[in-house]
Structure 1
Amino acid sequence: MKKSELQTPAILVDLDILDYNIKRYQYLCNLNRKQLWPMVKTHKSTEIVNMQEAAGSTGFVCGTLDECESICKLGVKNIMYAYPVASNANIQRVIELARKCHFIARIDNYDSAKILNYAAETAGVNVNYTIIIDCGLHRFGILPDRAKDFADSLREFKALVFKGISTHPGHVYSAAKPEDIQQYVDQETNAIKEAADVLRAAGYALELVSSGSTPTFLGSISDETINIFHPGNYVFNDCIQMSTNTAKESECALTVYTTVISHPSENLFICDAGAKCLGLDQGAHGNTALKGYGYVKGHPELTICGLSEEVSRFHAEGSTTLKVGDMVEIIPNHTCSTANLTSYLLGCRGDTVERLIKIDMRGNSTTKNFR
């Protein structure tokens, strides 16, 4: 099937670009003797996990316990969950995961650690963990100079096994231009080094020192302290990555395919892909670098100036060749959101649609009795 034969809207993934992105980041990790444990939440796809493993990934970090359980069923051994757990139901899921794989929880507070330890002791299971270090995002984490004191406070929990430290420089997504990135790389690497040095000086062994984001990856991959990297968005890339030269247009694998269905005034066009395909993301953490809600490939004169649930509005600056009936591809601002809005991607090479790739790990946590 050719793209022009598709019903729209459709969410496409260029298989050649996807393969290139996966292999490129794995190559850079191998070159720098680092492990790549990609973030699954970007794609939520069993098939893409298999592609990443085949390229050399030795573990994964997940944004939901659904993702953790899904990849555990695939036989993945090293699985890290990005956030603390505190509810009884989720703690029981962690206990089961710890029985089945090399599972690593992340901890940044005494109270959730106490609850998790009690449940693990009761179940007769040990749960591995890393301490979350705050490198500037100020969402989760312990400040680097408090790492030893916090680690000491967790020593009483005999069912919890200390494995190291983790951080996430997510505040890099407030960067508005390429030259802004280095300051976030510095914050990431300095924070993780300070915490690691403090802990090692106190006698702690750090098996895992993990960090990562797609924008900081190239700047921090040669860091001497970090041994595991967790980029996620790199598999698809998007307008956010383009805004900081983290990726070029030719490295953006995921697009929304849409048809122009109306031309109500001279400079206004309407297409049949709206917020339910593109999402409403205009940049995280105060980013003001993005213009509109995505980039229309081949039409730099167009700005996606507004979204309804099912349609988008394009505004043309000056002349344009666009007309009703044209089919165009949009690079979303944030591909993680777009992938989460569909049950499958259409895998393409050039103009040929080759296969369907299921997004089979999305959705909220479900109660076992209702599965």
Structure 2
Amino acid sequence: MDLALLETPVPVVELDIVERNLRRMQDYCDRAGIALRPHIKTHKIPSLAHRQIELGARGITCQKLGEAEVMADAGIDDILISYPIVGQGKALRLAALARRATMRVSLDNPVALATVSEAGRIGGEIGVLVEFDSGNGRTGVTSVEEVLTLARAARDTDGVRFDGLMNYPVNARTGEILRELLPRLEAEGLKPAIISGGGTPQAFRTHEMAPVTELRVGTYIYNDRMTVAAGHASWEDCAYTVHVTVISRPRPELAIVDAGSKVFSSDPMPAGTGEGHGYFPAYPQAKLAKMSEEHGMVDLSACGERPQIGERLRVIPNHVCPVSNLHDRLAFTKGGVFQGFGAIAARGRSQ
């Protein structure tokens, strides 16, 4: 099928760029002596996860049990869930996963530890990574003493094994915390086997910032407008675009495309790095200024040349991960030639 005949809106992934991105990150980790454990939250496609492992990744990272179940069903047997698991129902599902894969879970509280312990007693021992916060203000304990308390508890709890530490994103503060924390853990016989860090935008500086032993990155496989703005990638490194069609030109400075909030994420760009909800390679000054459910309102006022009704446009999303999660399938291309459709098998798995 000719790519130009695919009905829009349609997400399209160029496999040659994907391969280049995967090799670049794996090569960096190999040179730095860091194990790569890619986060599948970006692509959610088992075949791409298998390719990451073929190239040298230690295993994969998932954010939710549902993602891990899809990946385990596809034969992947080394999985970290980088999210606290809480509740009896989730304990039973985690136990089932532990029977068929090497499982690790990050956590920052004793309730989550009790859940993982229950799962481990049923399904087999599960590794625990204690998450600490380095300024992100999300999950993660906020003091060295809390890390020590949870690490001791994991050591002394049935069904779990203290495997180490986790942090997101890796930054200068991560290194400061670890320099204080590691000697105290080692003094208690709790030297971490794994120090897991994450974050695509500064991934290639990980070895400079903190002594992590494992890197969790997701967006790098596709890249997006945010990773370009952060200096991690160029536009040529963006493998994922959404193809849309101009369906209306109600005013000279306005184009309407056939994709709105059901296709694109509403994630804004960081302050000072760009406006709108996506980047148009063919019209760099165009701005996807507003969206309703099915309509994208594109501001063309800064454009010298302007697209016409019926013209197909490519859009690089601000943040590709939530956009990927909005679609059941995407089109694969290689060298710009349509190869077929791929199911986004783990999309929508929010539990």
* Interval of TM-score (by shorter of Structure 1 and Structure 2): over 0.9
Partner of 1:337: 322
Residue type at the aligned position of 1:342: H
**Residue identity (%):** 28
Partner of 2:166: 166
Larger displacement relative to structure 2 (48-57 or 67-76): 67-76
- For residues 241 and 137 of structure 1, what CA distance do their matches in structure 2 show? 18
Aligned to 1:306, what secondary structure does the other structure show?
A: strand
- For residues 305 and 275 of structure 2, what CA distance do their matches in structure 1 show? 18
The alignment covers a number of residue pairs equal to: 349
CA separation of 1:40 and 1:124: change in aligned 2, threshold 3 A: closer
CA separation of 1:118 and 1:355: change in aligned 2, threshold 3 A: closer
The answer on whether the counterparts of 1:46 and 1:358 sit within 8 Å (CA) in structure 2 is: no
Deviation per residue, 1:29-84 (Å, 9 max, x gap): 11112111001111110111121112111111101111111222233232111111
Aligned to 2:41, what secondary structure does the other structure show?
A: helix
Aligned to 1:258, what secondary structure does the other structure show?
A: strand
Residue type at the aligned position of 2:320: T
Matched, 1:256 2:242: yes
Partner of 2:260: 274
Query: How far did residue 226 of structure 1 move?
Result: 0.8
Query: How far did residue 221 of structure 1 move?
Result: 3.5
The answer on whether the counterparts of 1:254 and 1:335 sit within 8 Å (CA) in structure 2 is: yes
Residue type at the aligned position of 1:34: I
Partner of 1:107: 107
The answer on whether the counterparts of 1:133 and 1:192 sit within 8 Å (CA) in structure 2 is: no
Partner of 1:215: 201
TM-score with structure 1 setting the length: 0.89
Residue type at the aligned position of 1:139: R
Query: How far did residue 149 of structure 1 move?
Result: 3.0
Partner of 1:72: 72
TM-score with structure 2 setting the length: 0.93
Gaps of at least 5 residues in structure 1 are: 170-183, 367-371
CA separation of 1:117 and 1:332: change in aligned 2, threshold 3 A: same
Residue type at the aligned position of 1:352: V
Aligned to 1:209, what secondary structure does the other structure show?
A: strand
Partner of 2:285: 301
Partner of 2:150: 150
Residue type at the aligned position of 2:5: E
Partner of 1:141: 140
Deviation per residue, 1:187-242 (Å, 9 max, x gap): 23333443333212322131111111101211114566211100100001111111
Matched, 1:315 2:314: no
Matched, 1:43 2:43: yes
The answer on whether the counterparts of 1:129 and 1:162 sit within 8 Å (CA) in structure 2 is: yes
CA separation of 1:151 and 1:43: change in aligned 2, threshold 3 A: same
- For residues 125 and 265 of structure 2, what CA distance do their matches in structure 1 show? 40
- For residues 86 and 266 of structure 2, what CA distance do their matches in structure 1 show? 30
- For residues 119 and 46 of structure 1, what CA distance do their matches in structure 2 show? 25
- For residues 204 and 89 of structure 2, what CA distance do their matches in structure 1 show? 38
CA separation of 1:90 and 1:325: change in aligned 2, threshold 3 A: same
Partner of 1:128: 127
The answer on whether the counterparts of 2:94 and 2:119 sit within 8 Å (CA) in structure 1 is: no
Gaps of at least 5 residues in structure 2 are: none
Residue type at the aligned position of 1:277: V
RMSD: 1.9
- For residues 107 and 289 of structure 1, what CA distance do their matches in structure 2 show? 33
CA separation of 1:128 and 1:329: change in aligned 2, threshold 3 A: same
Aligned to 1:28, what secondary structure does the other structure show?
A: helix
Larger displacement relative to structure 2 (257-266 or 147-156): 147-156
Partner of 2:187: 201
Partner of 1:348: 333
The answer on whether the counterparts of 1:120 and 1:127 sit within 8 Å (CA) in structure 2 is: yes
Flag the structure with higher helix content. 1
Aligned to 2:70, what secondary structure does the other structure show?
A: helix
- For residues 310 and 124 of structure 1, what CA distance do their matches in structure 2 show? 45
- For residues 177 and 5 of structure 2, what CA distance do their matches in structure 1 show? 51
Query: How far did residue 260 of structure 1 move?
Result: 0.9
Larger displacement relative to structure 2 (202-211 or 257-266): 202-211
